[in-house]
A = this chain, B = another copy of it.
Amino acid sequence: LNVNAAAAANILRGNDNFLILTHKKPDGDTLGCAAALCLGLRAIGKTAFVLENPETTPRYAPMVAPLYADGNFKPQTVVAVDCASRDILPANAQNFAVDLALDHHPTNTHYAKLSVVAPEEAACASVVAAVLRKLKVAVTPEIATALYVAVSTDTGCFSYDNTNAAAFALAAQCAKDGADITAINREIFRVKTRARIALEGAILGGIEFAFDGRAAIAVITRELILSCGAVEDDLENIAAIPVSIEGVVAAFTIRELEDEPGKFKISVRSAPGFSSSEFAQKFGGGGHAGASGFSKTASVETIKTIILQALTEYFA
């Protein structure tokens, strides 16, 4: 059942003992939304916790880890943020029935009893901020910071195609509410580790082009990651690199998974006119028009061949 932000706020107000779920491979939007919603619910007197997400990286851990539920917490109301489907929930979240989903993915499967799905929003942060406004939460600098992390990361610091007036307006409000935007911008968008610099250099040198430069393929093996001394945080948004090159319409980053050697995640990024989600759906994946992904257990060469074959019909 679809509801709007006001109805969602009413439902939250009438319930208590909240557990907030985030998605696998958690990004700034799901974790920032979880932190903001949890702190907001606490601010109006509710008991609220975030379910531990085992894949949370050190970058975001300080924001959410202090809000994690311990094993004894018995939730009455379960809310998922930025989660498009049940199978994107981490293993430890699979047994919970989800009461409310706050999301912005057009592909949301309505796995929750109630859903606020706003595909027009750049980030789920705008949905959470709207709910917090309806709840009349006094936004603290900590809440504003979590919302700013969410909206800024999901828009690539306001540079991606999903950036819109609402995203800027939310950022302006976060800044007014005391979010430490300077520290976040510096840490997430500007400062690069030496490992990241080495990795970017290697990727830039190894990109392969096809179809007159309209397609680009980057490969990131475990060997490369280890040789650069890179960790998970160093890989964030690395798939944005090949699609940033002039003339590239469809870009693919083939990245070997840490926990499953020989299995690769293929991130698809595209310019308008090429649907990343349609492409990924052919291989059992999904996502947005401009950003999607799928997985494949095969050799890098085989994956490249599969991609190039599937591209032939687009670029014929």
Contact = CB atoms under 8 A, between A and B. Distances in A.
Nearest to A243: B190
A159 interface: yes
Given A168-B168, A205-B201, A246 B157 contact: no
Q: Is the interface of A mostly helix, strand, loop or mixed?
A: helix
Interface string A188-212: 0111111001001100110000000
A185 B172 contact: no
A189 B159 contact: yes
A165 B161 contact: no
A160 interface: yes
A243 B192 CA distance: 9
A162 to B, nearest CB: 9
A246 B185 contact: no
Nearest to A198: B204
A240 B157 CA distance: 16
A186 interface: yes
Contacts of A152: 158
A240 B164 CA distance: 25
A169 interface: yes
A172 B245 CA distance: 27
Nearest to A186: B161
Contact of A194 (B160, B201, B245): B245
A128 interface: no
Interface stretch (A78-86, A92-100, A175-183, A300-308): A175-183
Contacts of A271: 186
A10 interface: no
A47 interface: no
A191 B204 CA distance: 14
Contacts of A197: 204, 245
Of all A-B residue pairs in the complex, the 10 with the closest CB atoms, nearest first, are A165-B175, A168-B172, A169-B172, A168-B171, A159-B189, A158-B158, A159-B185, A201-B204, A165-B176, A193-B246
